[in-house]
Chain A
Amino acid sequence: MDDASKTKQTALHSLHIELGAKMVPFAGYDMPVQYPAGIMKEHLHTREAAGLFDVSHMGQVVISGDGAAKAIESLIPGDIQALEPGQMRYSFLTNEAGGILDDLIVTQREDDLFVVVNADCKEQDIKILTDGLAGMAIVTELDDRALVALQGPKAADILKKFNPEVASMPFMTFRELDILGVPCFITRSGYTGEDGFEISIPNEKAVEVSQALLADSGVEPIGLGARDSLRLEAGLCLYGHDLTDKTTPVSGGLLWAISKRRREEGGFPGADVILEQIANKPDVKRVGIVPEGRAPAREHTEIADMDGNIVGEVTSGGFSPSLQQPIAMGYVPLALSAVGTEIQLVVRGKFKSAKVVKMPFVEQKYYRG
């Protein structure tokens, strides 16, 4: 392999190997898909106690400049100007057709914005932000920091042993706090539906902090496999699958992330398309699906109406360890999107009964303070 095609490693790579992880290439990184416990146990442990995830492959970006919050609103429909320092918001980069180029989290810090983007979209996003904000703000990638997530009902009790300040942080807030004397960026957020934190740590201290967290009897290391089944149960979208440049925030069911002011003012890429869809409804909508029986319906499984016409496709699907049944999400025409609608899934050539259900599949347990 030459250098250009070489798989990258996160600062925690050696720790994964030491923990016996099964490593797979993901978004250009050599990442742990599971540890010896396996996806099922890792998943259930996160729901019952706490799991530690390495998400250092994701992009951490700082946007600085006096008008950064206003400027970034020209690229995303999120209401960033409404954020007080320490608050954060889920948003997405859109294109002129109203499609989603990536989803991201924007935090308003005291003097700048801290943005976390998907690993697969990192280069694209940094280019869009750099070009789009040229002359208004400076975009800097923090490639010297690792990112770990501590998720689960015991996450707060465990992390507060390292710094009691974290206990009072509400969901979707940010603080710079020390863990073992290491200055960390801590957000109360995550991708599992559980209470929990994401912790940005200087690379050279990442192993030390992670090992200290793992030393707690409530914490187990969790791989990408369980990360995917956890976020699916929580009804959370995976970019490149449930959201793409062909899906709009309206059909994706993400209108909650576009405030009244942004709807009134527009001024983001694809605003005309998105605002028109808000007014007149989109053609298709993302829905939760429960297949009958035990057979999972995977991504790209065709969705049919009760007459057998193919009307859509599953975008994420698998087996829910918490519910011990298959679950999925996908896009269906608006007429079939109501909760309770009976549909069919074409699994290995056979039509199987399924039902549109409310998401999340498993209750979200965020700490609202």
Chain B
Amino acid sequence: MSIKFTKDHEWVLIEGNIATVGISDYAQEQLGDVVFVEVPDVGSDLSKGDELAVVESVKAASEVYAPVSGEVIEVNSELEDEPSKVNEDAFGEGWFAKIKLADPDEVAEYLDADAYKTYIEGLS
């Protein structure tokens, strides 16, 4: 089990050949109060870079892109009624989708927790 981060502020938790995807605490803080999340349909086949989800704050809509390719096997439908979970628990109950990895090597380029921390420090 390992957690990786993209420079687009998504996290990817790898367990076997399943990747759970969400957005980082930094991302939820930048977005502000999340009022709506549109998650993908279970069964949809995504390529890395495809639109995975849409996150709407009071102010604006933001796209979340699939950090890995593969089939969506589960989505967090709780977000439909409680989108604020993304703010409250970005790394836990605020997860978006689980994707069955088509190419496990895709995550190799992503940052580990320390490297991501350094990366966001450089942004402010």
Contacts and interface: CB of A to CB of B under 8 A. Distances in A.
Given A294-B80, A298-B61, A38 B33 contact: yes
A41 B58 CA distance: 11
A318 B56 CA distance: 9
A229 B58 contact: yes
A2 B31 CA distance: 31
B53 to A, nearest CB: 11
Interface in B17-74: 32-33, 35-36, 38, 54, 56-61
A182 interface: no
B6 to A, nearest CB: 22
A318 B32 CA distance: 14
Which of B32, B60, B80 is packed against the most chain A CB atoms within 10 Å? B32
Contacts of A228: 59
Given A39-B57, A319-B58, A296 B32 contact: no
A294 B35 contact: yes
A41 B84 CA distance: 13
Nearest to B30: A22
B36 A39 contact: no
Contacts of B58: 39-40, 43, 225-226, 229, 318-319, 321
Contacts, number: 46
A295 B57 contact: no
A38 B88 CA distance: 13
B36 A296 contact: yes
B33 A296 contact: no
B10 to A, nearest CB: 19
B94 interface: no
A39 B56 contact: no
Range for the number of chain A residues in contact with chain B: 20 to 34
A294 B59 CA distance: 14
A294 B54 contact: no
Given A39-B58, A40-B58, A43-B58, A34 B32 contact: yes
B32 A295 contact: no
Interface in A227-243: 228-229
A103 B54 CA distance: 34
A304 B113 CA distance: 46
A348 interface: yes
Interface string A24-53: 000000000110001111010000000000
A51 B35 CA distance: 22
B58 to A, nearest CB: 4
Contacts of B56: 295-296, 319
Contacts of A43: 58
B61 to A, nearest CB: 6
A40 B33 contact: yes
B84 to A, nearest CB: 9
Interface of A: 33-34, 38-41, 43, 225-226, 228-229, 294-296, 298, 318-319, 321, 326, 348
Given A33-B59, A39-B59, A296-B56, 4 more contacts: A38-B33, A40-B58, A295-B56, A348-B38
Shortest 7 CB-CB distances between A and B: which pairs?
Answer: A40-B33, A319-B35, A39-B58, A294-B36, A225-B59, A319-B58, A295-B36
23 contacts: A33-B59, A34-B32, A40-B33, A41-B33, A225-B32, A226-B58, A229-B58, A294-B80, A294-B83, A295-B38, A295-B56, A296-B36, A296-B56, A298-B60, A318-B58, A319-B35, A319-B36, A319-B56, A319-B57, A319-B58, A321-B58, A326-B36, A348-B54
